[in-house]
Chains A and B, each alone.
Chain A
Amino acid sequence: MANTKNKGGKVFYLLIAAVVIAGGFLLLRGGGTTEAPDLAPVALSGDGVMADASSGTSFGADDAPAVVMEFSDYLCPHCRTFNGMSGKLLRQNYGNSGSVKWVSYDFPLWPESWAPAIAAQCAKRQGKYYEMKDLLFARVDSWSQGGNPNRKFVDYARDLGLDAGAFKSCVDGKETLADVQATRAYGESLGIDSTPTIFFNGERFTLTGRDYGYGALETQIKEAAAGGGE
C-alpha cells in the first residue's frame, strides 16, 4: 500500500517536472511569434521624399535624411503604446530638427476603427491631425465603449480649439471617408495586414522591445542624420 503511494508520488513529481520543462520551453521560445512578415521595401524617390505620400499626413522637413512611415489603427493597443512611447516622443524630439520626415497613415483594421480615422482626417482639415491622433489614443477607453463616438470626437475637437461646427458636419457626413480609404488602400498595396507597421527609409522596421522601438529608431535617425543611413 505504502509502496503504491510512493510510486504515485514519484509519478506525480515526474509529471510536475515534465510540465515545468514544457512550460519553460513555451516561455523561452515565446510561442514562435518573433518573425515579422516580409514586406517589400517602399519605393522612395531620389531626394528622400515619399513616392506616394499624398494619402498620408506628414510633418518635418521634406528633405530630411530619415523618413518614417507609420501605419496605425486607433483601436490597436500596440499602436496606442507605440504612439505614446515612441511616436510622440520621436516627433517631439526630432520633428523640428530637420532630420526626420514623419508620415502617418490611418489603417483601420476593424469596422469600429473607421470612425476615429475619419475624425482624425477631419482634424487634419483644420491643421490638427497629430493633436487629434494623440487625443484619440489617450481617450480610447472612453470613445470605444459602444454607440456613436462622434459626439465625443466633437468634444475633443472643442478641447483642441477646432471649429466644432465644421468638425461635426465633417465627422457626421463622413466627409473624409475617401481619405481614410486612400490611406488604407495604400497600406494594402504594400501588403500590410497588421498595425503598427513602420517603415524606415522604405525598409520595414520591426517593433520589438519594451521601449516599443524608441531606442532603435532614434539610433537610425541619428545615423541617417550623420550620413550613415540610406
Chain B
Amino acid sequence: MSEDTRLRGIVLISLVGLFVAVYLLLYHLGYYGILVCGTGSCETVQTSKYARFLGQPVPLWGTLWYAGMLVLAFLGLGPVAGRRWPAALLALGATGGLLFSAYLTGVELFILHAVCMWCVISAVLTALIFLLARPWSFLTRSAAPA
C-alpha cells in the first residue's frame, strides 16, 4: 500500500471519526433531544464520571484528536508531501489515540460493564488509523540510514 493511499485512508477514517465525536459532543452538551440519564448502555457510559477527562468531556478530546489526524494526513498528502514530520506526528498521535481508546474500552468492559455502540465505532476507527499510520515502520525507518 502506497503512502498516499494510507494517508487518504487516514483522511477518510478521521473524517468519519470527527463526525461521530462531534455528534457525541453535541449529545453530551444537550443539543439533541431529551436531556435525560437512563440505564441504557450508551447513557451509562456517557453520563458516568469517566465521560470526562482532564475536566473536559471525552468527546471533545475525540473531536480534537480526529481533527488533528485529519489535518496531518491532509498536510502529508499535499503541502508538505514527502516530508517526514507529518508521518512522525501521525504515528505518535495514532499511538496515543490507540492507548487512550484501549483505556476507555477497558473502563467500559471492566468498570462500567456497559458498552456504547458509538464508543465501539470510535475504537475501531482509532485502531484502523493506527494500522494505517504504521508507527512501527516509522521506528524501523528512523533507525535505518537515510
Contacts and interface: CB of A to CB of B under 8 A. Distances in A.
A57 interface: no
Contacts of A145: 49
A27 B16 contact: no
Interface string B22-52: 1100110011111111110001100101010
Interface in A155-181: none
Interface stretch (B7-15, B88-96, B135-143): B7-15
A15 B12 contact: yes
Interface in B81-140: none
Interface in A68-124: 73, 75-79, 81-82, 109-110
Interface residues of B, number: 29
A12 B12 CA distance: 8
A35 interface: yes
Interface bin, chain A: 35 or more
Nearest to B24: A31
A20 B15 contact: yes
A77 B19 contact: no
Interface in A191-221: 193-197, 206-210, 212-213
A141 B18 CA distance: 28
Contact of A81 (B33, B35, B38): B35
Given A12-B8, A15-B12, A193-B39, A23 B19 contact: yes
Given A27-B26, A33-B27, A77-B47, A82 B18 contact: no
A192 to B, nearest CB: 10
Contacts, number: 102
Given A33-B32, A195-B37, 12 more contacts: A23-B16, A23-B19, A26-B20, A34-B32, A36-B36, A79-B37, A144-B49, A194-B37, A195-B36, A207-B36, A209-B30, A210-B31
B36 A30 contact: no
A73 B48 CA distance: 12
B47 A78 contact: yes
A207 B34 contact: yes
15 contacts: A8-B4, A8-B5, A23-B19, A23-B22, A30-B31, A31-B23, A35-B33, A76-B47, A78-B35, A82-B35, A109-B37, A110-B39, A193-B38, A196-B37, A213-B35
Interface of B: 4-5, 8, 11-12, 15-16, 18-20, 22-23, 26-27, 30-39, 43-44, 47, 49, 51
Contacts of A23: 15-16, 18-19, 22
A100 B34 CA distance: 23
A73 to B, nearest CB: 6
B34 A33 contact: yes
